[in-house]
Every structure is written in C-alpha cells, then in structure tokens.
Structure 1
Amino acid sequence: MASTQIRLATASPGTQGTTKETIAQLQHIAQRAAVKKADILLLPEAYLGGYPRGSDFGCKIGSRTAEGRDDYLRYFKSAVDLGDTVGDGAGAGEAWVKRQLSVDVVVTGDAQGPVNRGDGTREEIERIARETGVFIVVGLVEKAGGSLYCSVIYVCPKLGAIGKRRKVQPTGTERLIWAQGSPATLKAVSTTIRGVRINLAAAICWENYMPLLRQSLYAQNVNLYLAPTADNRDAWLSLMRTVALEGRCFVVSSNMCVRGDPTADSVATPNHKHGVVAPHSDHQKGATGRRNSFMTEDGFEIALPLSPTSPSASGKPRMVSQGRRRSVFDEDGNEIALPEGDLTASAVVEEEEGEARVKPDSPALVKAPAALPSNSFVSRGGSSIVSPFGDVIAGPQWEDEEGIIYADVDFDDCIRGRLDLDAAGSYSRNDSFKFSVAGLDLDPLPYY
C-alpha cells in the first residue's frame, strides 16, 4: 500500500542579539529547509525572546535587588507581543487565532485605520511560513499584560497561525519569571500535507516529564508530538524515545546550541545570561567540535576514541583520549570534570531544566577554569527525530548551531504501531481509569 512521505525538520539555533536578528535567522533556516523540501520545521523553546539560563534576577527568598529588577525589565522588553490577552492563562483562544479581538486605531493626519495587535511578530512568522511553504512551529517568550509566558506557536503556510499554547508548568526557578499557562492550551491542531492528515501538539521541555500531560496529548490522537526544550543532557533522548514508543507517534525535539564566550568575565551581561548571543567570532567558529560517535541498534550513543592525528574542527590535531570524563555545569555555566568512576553519595548532582549541578561542598569537585574555553557550550543542543517504534531516525544534533536535520517519514507507521499499543485507546483501560483535563476537549482527532 503506497503512502506519502512527509519530511520533518529541526535545528538547534541560538537566540540572536535582538528579536529582529532572530527572526531574520528563523527566515534563513526556513528558506534552507524549503530548498530541502521540508514540510514541517520545529525550532527550540524560547527561541524568540531567549532562554534565561543562569539568570537569578537578583532574587532570594525574602529579598530582591534593584539590579535584578532591571534585568527583568530588559528580559520583558526582549519578549514578543503576539497581540493575545491574558485570560485565565489561555489567552483568547480561537478569538485570537481568528483575529476577532479588537485592534488599536492609528491616526495619521486626517486618515485613520486599524493596525495589527501586538508587535508584528505573529505576522512576520506567518509571512515566512507563507513564502517558504514550510509549516513552522517555534518556541517563544510571549508577553501579555504584565506577565511572561513560555509559549509555542503553530503557523501554517496557507492559514497562518492556527494555534498557540503556553507552558502550564514552568520548572524550578523558571516560575519566578514565567506565568503558568492554562491546560486548555494543550489543544492539538491539525494540518493536511499532500493528502496526509497530521495531528500535532507540543509539550515544552520538562512538561514532557509529566505523565498526565503526555496522556492529554495522546488522548487527542496526535501522530506528531513536538518537544521544544532547553534540556541538553544525553538523558533527554531516552525520554523522547519513550514518548515515541508510548504514544506511537513521531517525536521531534529541538534545543538551542549556544557556545560559551571565552572572553566573558565572571559577571555575565544580561544578553549573555539570557542565552542571547551575538554572531560568533572567527576563533569561536574554529572551536574544537564534539568527539565522533555512533548509535547502536538499541539507540545508545557510543563515543569513539580519539587518535593523536584526529583533526578538530579547526584542523589542529587533537589530544589522545580513551574516554570522555563525566562532567557537570555549575551555576555560571563552567564545565566541571568529575573524578573517574561513579559519583559517590557525597557528590550529589542537582538537575534542573537540562543543567546538572554539583553541590559546592562536594569533595568530588575538580576545580573549574576561571573562564569558559572556546570549545565549551552553554547548551549543546541535541535536537532529534524519533519514529513511533522508538528508533532515532535523525540526530541527536550535538554542538551544531547551524545545521538542519531531516527525516522522511510515513505517518501510517503511527497506525501500524497501534496494533499492540494504544495508550489512549484499547490499551488504556478507559473502563477502569478516568481522565479529564480542565478546559480541554480530549475527544480524539480523526486520522483522515
């Protein structure tokens, strides 16, 4: 039985210095994806607006600093305005999608007329999708009223924005700056490409560790599950494979690749702290790349030993290494090598949103360098595409902020996978377990 293949694409770009520059980069990526005949493109969490990795905004329990408030002001101004309302955390929903909200009126001399709500970001992404023919899903930091939301927008080349959702559970200290979105925004959307109906929805970063949230997407019969993230640990890929197997859906994940700044001092600038980086200098582009590796049949990544003559990205010989040392990142983004062997009980690792941290009083610490070397990464990326059977079919894309990865897929594989596992249907025992989500219709979308 013949099936039409759909080309999925994702990448690991970092946020640029301004929203205008980031949108220009987004357009360039979409244009390149269009040349390669990509149908759907996913870009990372908080790509527009920036992920504030390492920032504390001057906050401690019971106190705030004036400098921290100024940092928040700058971060708020860098967020995008899509012209939506606050509502109950869901915004205006379909009224926003269909442009039924009131608009401002601009008066110029004797003439006056309506203008678009928001700052024009929605219209720019819609234009890029329309001109490239690529269905774009992108993470962004959205401001509405006096609050910020970590959001994802779904943009169809023909219809424009057909949906938007807001992160329902910011993780850890993200809760300081991002408001909670409504679970009503977990609503899946549909598009049809070359006769293939695709039901898609996004779970943002550590929302993917919420089993009931995942179930809310499975229940809507999604066959494309999107996971924009800020988690750059090797373990993230295991979760994506679990989601694909569990939901019998294709999974696309996207995370920023951001290089460290070897010239930065101990006090990062607001842009550096927010993960908003300027274009790379020549010496940064020549940084040593990640070691070669390959994927086993079971999906495990095996690092290959390095030889004295193995060239680096800059063309210089590498040092001999028989295995990569385990390491973590401290609060300032410095990579800390750990002693050989497993972590002991005294070397406790604390993890949050893709960062691993070792307690400062741990005797297992090895002193970190004062500044990041040019081959270090604030975030290593790791974007990937996984099949409904848990196979990694593209990526993981480590330490590559410029490339795009693709996979040609047959969405009938999602139905083939339902033969023996349907997490929201025949396998769910709906006669015994009852599941509902406030404000969200869980009736399954059709496949055809």
Structure 2
Amino acid sequence: MNLPIVKVAAVHAAPVYMDAAATVSKAVALIEEAARHGAELVAFPESFVPGFPVWAALWAPIYNHDWFRRMVSNSILVNGPEMAQIQGAARRNGVFVSLGFSESTEVSVGCIWNSNVIVGDDGAILNHHRKLVPTFYEKMVWAAGDGHGLRVSDTRIGRLGALICGENTNPLARYSLAAQGEQIHISAWPAIWPTRMPSSGMNFDNLAANRIRAGGHSFEAKVFGILNAGFMDKTMFDALAASGDHQAVEVLENTPRAATQFLDPTGAVIGDTLQAEEGIAYATFDLNDCIEPKQFHDIVGYYNRFDIFNVEIDRRRLAPVKFSPDNANAKAEPRGDRIGIADPTSIDVA
C-alpha cells in the first residue's frame, strides 16, 4: 500500500467582519496564496464567512437584534454566488478547500446554520455539513443541523472529514467519520470563545481544550489533524467594542486566543503553529504514517466489539415540509438541494 504525501494549509486569518462579499474575496486571495506555496488542501476556520458571532457571548439576546440581522444578511447560500467564487478558486488552482460559513436558506429569512463544505479540486462540492448542535450561546444564532454531512470524501489526496468546533467533543460524531476510513480530519474553531469574565480565572481555554479534543481524535482514529482556528484582527475587535461597553472590551482583550496547528496520527504537533499573528500555516502529511498505529488499536477494525456496540447514523437531510406528488402546488416546490429534501441513505457502521 502506498498512500499519498500531501502538503496542507490552514488559514489562521480574520474575516472582514460581518461582510460576506469582502470576506469571500479575501478567502479567494488566501486560496491562491496557499496554492502558490504548494498546498493541495486549504482549510478555513469556523464561520469564516462572515465571521463568528462573538457578540452572542458579550450581550443578552435583547441587545443583539441588530447583530443578528447583520449576521443573517451576510450568511450565504450553499449554491449561491459567493460559494461559486470559492468553487472557482478551488478549480483554477487545482486545490481542495474546506470552508466554514454561516449558511442561509431560501425557505426562511431568519434561519441560518453553522456549516462547512469540502470543495474538490475540480470545484465540485464534495460534502456539505451543518453543525449538529450549536454550542452554548450559539443556540441564539444558529439552528441545529442534521446527519447528512457526516461523510468522508474519498479524494486523490486522501479521505477527508470535517467537524465544527464542539462537535469534536462528540465521540459518536467523530466515530462516524473514523468508520468511513477518514485519514485527514479537519476541526474548525473560532478565534475566541468566551464563557466567563476573564477576571474569574475560569474562562474556557481555547488553546488547551481544542488541542485535547483534536489530539484525542487523531490518536483514536489514527488520522492526521488540521486544527484550524480563526483570528480576531483590529477591525473585528473595534466592531465589537464600538458600543463602549467596558466589560465587553475586557472580554475581548483577555479571553484566551485559539491556535492553528497540525497533528500526526499519534496526536503529536507537527508543522507550523499560529496563534498571535494572522497568516497561513503549512504542514506535510505522509498518510502512510496512519498504518503502523493501527496495529496498536484500530477502533473501526479489530480493536472493537461490534457484537456489543451497535452504532447507526441517520443521514437524512431535514426539511421544513414534504410535498406530495399529487399536490396542486407541487410544481412550486423549492429545489431539494436548497431546502434539504430528505436523503434516504444512511450508514450502519456496526
């Protein structure tokens, strides 16, 4: 067996905060830059387009209506013109792209999801995943996703899988990808994730928590990991601090920053690490290194008890309505790829 050796890039960059068009233009430029440096896979952080809703952590919902409207108006369709620009950049540069984005839908003006796509080097969308459960204050922004995107994409550079932020805390979500032969796992994270006032000394440590979860998956599944975090620049900081709320400024200034780094199949850090500065991190993955650790414990092979543990994943795409064929208005039914008509396929990894 001779598996690929691939150079990967992780974008540790800030969006043009709450500006989808400008952020997509920035993403295209970053894809081109990474491709010039030999990357074959370019990954972006959680909700890179149009930015992570940190404001939901800073203020109660009754103060966030304007922020929510701004977020909704800058969320994008998976089959819209902004995504087409990302697909075009992937195709022109012959690279694979993993993009975190806030997804809108044509069937509601206010429903958005925390989503991720993997785009092929031919520009086709290989997988489209919606975060299963928005975490903590994210519930006030995004709707819950479904299992449709719990898929691994089999490509010329390896089998690619991705989960969003706290999903990497869910053993069953991670196992669903491992059980499909995943070899490169992309975990996408925000720049900061406040949970308490910094003065309490008990805030959520992005650096440690993300490293533990991503490292655990690399070690358990014997896969390479791209731990891809966002970055908060001055523009984003100033936008969030513009209210003059001193407590909000304290949170923004002193909440631990997340890091972007890479992991080998033992969970060890390899390649570049970025935390305090914006840029693109690079690493080289020799997928042949996934083989030897499987001798020790292959959780989707011999090192399991499928006679005891039975796991079934429902991958139907949830939809708000089902139209019967004999309905007089059936011809007005929105396209399935826009509203997520149920996909009957499912996998039984047991």
The normalised TM-score by structure 1 is: 0.62
State yes or no: 1:74 paired with 2:70.
yes
- Give the letter for the 1:387 counterpart: D
- List aligned pairs for 1:300-311, cutoff 5 A: none
In structure 2, relative to structure 1, the CA distance for the partners of 1:379 and 1:58 (3 Å cut) is closer
State yes or no: 1:438 paired with 2:279.
no
In structure 2, relative to structure 1, the CA distance for the partners of 1:427 and 1:226 (3 Å cut) is same
Deviation at 1:58, TM superposition (A): 6.7
Aligned partners of 2:115 and 2:128 also within 8 Å: yes
Counterpart among 295, 299, 307 of residue 423 in structure 1: 299
Equivalent residue, structure 1, for 2:288: 412
In structure 2, relative to structure 1, the CA distance for the partners of 1:11 and 1:126 (3 Å cut) is same
Equivalent residue, structure 2, for 1:54: 55
Equivalent residue, structure 2, for 1:383: 260
State yes or no: 1:228 paired with 2:188.
yes
State yes or no: 1:211 paired with 2:175.
no
Equivalent residue, structure 1, for 2:141: 177
State yes or no: 1:258 paired with 2:240.
no
* Structure that is richer in helix per residue: 2
State yes or no: 1:394 paired with 2:271.
yes
Counterpart among 150, 158, 168 of residue 114 in structure 2: 150
Equivalent residue, structure 2, for 1:126: 87
The normalised TM-score by structure 2 is: 0.78
The residue matched to 2:232 in structure 1 has which SS?
A: strand
The residue matched to 1:154 in structure 2 has which SS?
A: strand
Counterpart among 325, 334, 341 of residue 250 in structure 2: 334
Q: Distance in 2 between matches of 1:124 and 1:261?
A: 24
- Give the letter for the 1:164 counterpart: H
State yes or no: 1:11 paired with 2:11.
yes
How many residue pairs match? The answer is 302
Equivalent residue, structure 2, for 1:366: none
Deviation at 1:260, TM superposition (A): 5.0
The residue matched to 1:141 in structure 2 has which SS?
A: strand
Q: Distance in 2 between matches of 1:379 and 1:74?
A: 26
Unaligned ranges ≥5, structure 2: 193-205, 316-344
Deviation at 1:141, TM superposition (A): 0.2
In structure 2, relative to structure 1, the CA distance for the partners of 1:263 and 1:192 (3 Å cut) is closer
Deviation at 1:179, TM superposition (A): 0.4
- Structure 1 stretches (4+) deviating beyond 2 angstroms? 1-4, 54-60, 67-71, 259-269, 376-381, 439-444
In structure 2, relative to structure 1, the CA distance for the partners of 1:407 and 1:58 (3 Å cut) is closer
- Give the letter for the 2:281 counterpart: I
- Give the letter for the 2:67 counterpart: D
State yes or no: 1:239 paired with 2:213.
yes
The residue matched to 2:15 in structure 1 has which SS?
A: coil
In structure 2, relative to structure 1, the CA distance for the partners of 1:227 and 1:73 (3 Å cut) is same
In structure 2, relative to structure 1, the CA distance for the partners of 1:50 and 1:264 (3 Å cut) is closer
Aligned partners of 1:139 and 1:150 also within 8 Å: yes
In structure 2, relative to structure 1, the CA distance for the partners of 1:424 and 1:268 (3 Å cut) is farther
Aligned partners of 1:381 and 1:400 also within 8 Å: no
The residue matched to 1:48 in structure 2 has which SS?
A: coil
Deviation per residue, 1:113-171 (Å, 9 max, x gap): xxxxx3x0121011110111111101000011321000001111214212210000110
- Computed over aligned residues only, the root mean square deviation of the Cα atoms, in angstroms, reads 2.8
Deviation at 1:264, TM superposition (A): 4.7
In structure 2, relative to structure 1, the CA distance for the partners of 1:397 and 1:422 (3 Å cut) is same
Q: Distance in 2 between matches of 1:128 and 1:378?
A: 34
In structure 2, relative to structure 1, the CA distance for the partners of 1:24 and 1:377 (3 Å cut) is farther
- Give the letter for the 2:91 counterpart: R
In structure 2, relative to structure 1, the CA distance for the partners of 1:442 and 1:262 (3 Å cut) is closer
* Identity percentage of aligned residues: 24
Aligned partners of 1:14 and 1:258 also within 8 Å: yes
The residue matched to 2:300 in structure 1 has which SS?
A: coil
Deviation per residue, 1:160-199 (Å, 9 max, x gap): 2122100001101111110011112212222114xxxx11
Q: Distance in 1 between matches of 2:237 and 2:86?
A: 34
Equivalent residue, structure 1, for 2:31: 30
In structure 2, relative to structure 1, the CA distance for the partners of 1:74 and 1:265 (3 Å cut) is closer
Aligned partners of 2:187 and 2:227 also within 8 Å: yes
State yes or no: 1:161 paired with 2:125.
yes
In structure 2, relative to structure 1, the CA distance for the partners of 1:231 and 1:30 (3 Å cut) is closer
In structure 2, relative to structure 1, the CA distance for the partners of 1:159 and 1:387 (3 Å cut) is same
Aligned partners of 2:229 and 2:259 also within 8 Å: yes
- Give the letter for the 2:88 counterpart: R
Equivalent residue, structure 1, for 2:324: none
- Give the letter for the 2:104 counterpart: K
In structure 2, relative to structure 1, the CA distance for the partners of 1:441 and 1:24 (3 Å cut) is same
In structure 2, relative to structure 1, the CA distance for the partners of 1:333 and 1:199 (3 Å cut) is farther
